[in-house]
């Protein structure tokens, strides 16, 4: 009888030891977590490079094509330059932030918050982009009622519609990419299944 008890004890100890080895000692040391953070930071860097390149191209083309004659085309390219100076600044700040980020230093809570924050920012930006396009359409309509200022209003309006339309597609596509890639990794890290979350992790 004592032999059976000893055998049962040894079997239980072996199972417990195997389960302990299967669990990571510290969630923040998980390679999956580091990869989750690394991919988000890399995506942010790609966003900054893409937006910065687009901005530089628009500034160069706009400065070359504007000309001196105050026509609709002049104002269109002039607004493109103004708009993309701002885009270039935003891209620069994004690149600086991604350069200083260290995926190995992020906790699970921080990584999840930053991932969700990026999605919210991109989704909010798409709403602003729609407002930009509407604002450009308003300027064009206003130009029709102000013949003396039609060239400026129409040129600015068309530029804002083009820039707003580009940003709408840019932000929406990147939101979808963040969600498709990051949400799957996030679900794995949080232990989320089709039946709910198996492990509750405090995010604050």
Q: What is the pLDDT of residues 96-126, one digit of tens each?
A: 888 877 777 788 888 888 888 989 999 999 9
192: which residues sit within 8 A by CB, 6+ positions away?
A: 186, 198
Residue 65 pLDDT greater than 50, yes or no: yes
Whether pLDDT at 92 is above 80: yes
> Which long-range contacts (C-beta less than 8 Å, at least 24 apart) are formed by 185-191?
185/32, 185/35, 185/36, 185/39, 186/36, 186/112, 186/115, 188/32, 189/27, 189/30, 189/32, 189/33, 189/36, 189/108, 189/111, 189/112, 190/108, 190/112
pLDDT at residue 30 in the model: 63
Q: What is the mean pLDDT of residues 84-91?
A: 96
Among left, alpha and beta (phi > 0; psi -120 to 50; other), residue 67 is: left
Residue 31 pLDDT level (bands cut at 50, 70, 90): low
**189 three-state secondary structure:** helix
Residue 27 and residue 188: Cα distance in Å, rounded? 12
Q: Look up tokens 């977590």; give the residue.
A: 33
- Percent of the chain residues topping a pLDDT of 70: 78
Can you name the residues that pair with 193 across neighbouring β-strands? Answer: 196
């Amino acid at each position: 009888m004592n032999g059976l008890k000893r055998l049962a004890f040894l079997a239980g100890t072996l199972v417990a030891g195997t389960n302990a080895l299967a669990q990571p000692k510290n969630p923040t040391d998980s390679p999956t977590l580091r990869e989750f953070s690394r991919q988000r930071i890399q995506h942010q860097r790609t966003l900054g490079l893409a937006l910065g390149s687009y901005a530089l191209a628009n500034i160069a083309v706009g400065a070359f094509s504007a000309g001196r004659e105050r026509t609709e085309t002049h104002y269109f390219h002039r607004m493109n330059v103004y708009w993309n100076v701002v885009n270039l600044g935003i891209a620069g700040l994004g690149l600086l932030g991604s350069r200083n980020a260290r995926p190995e230093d992020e906790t699970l809570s921080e990584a999840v918050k930053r991932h969700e924050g990026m999605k919210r920012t991109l989704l909010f930006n798409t709403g602003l982009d729609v407002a930009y396009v509407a604002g450009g359409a308003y300027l064009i309509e206003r130009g029709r009622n102000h013949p003396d200022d039609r060239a400026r209003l129409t040129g600015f309006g068309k530029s804002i519609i083009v820039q707003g339309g580009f940003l709408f597609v840019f932000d929406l596509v990147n939101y979808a990419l963040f969600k498709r890639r990051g949400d799957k990794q996030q679900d794995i890290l949080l232990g989320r299944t089709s039946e709910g979350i198996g492990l509750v992790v405090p995010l604050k």
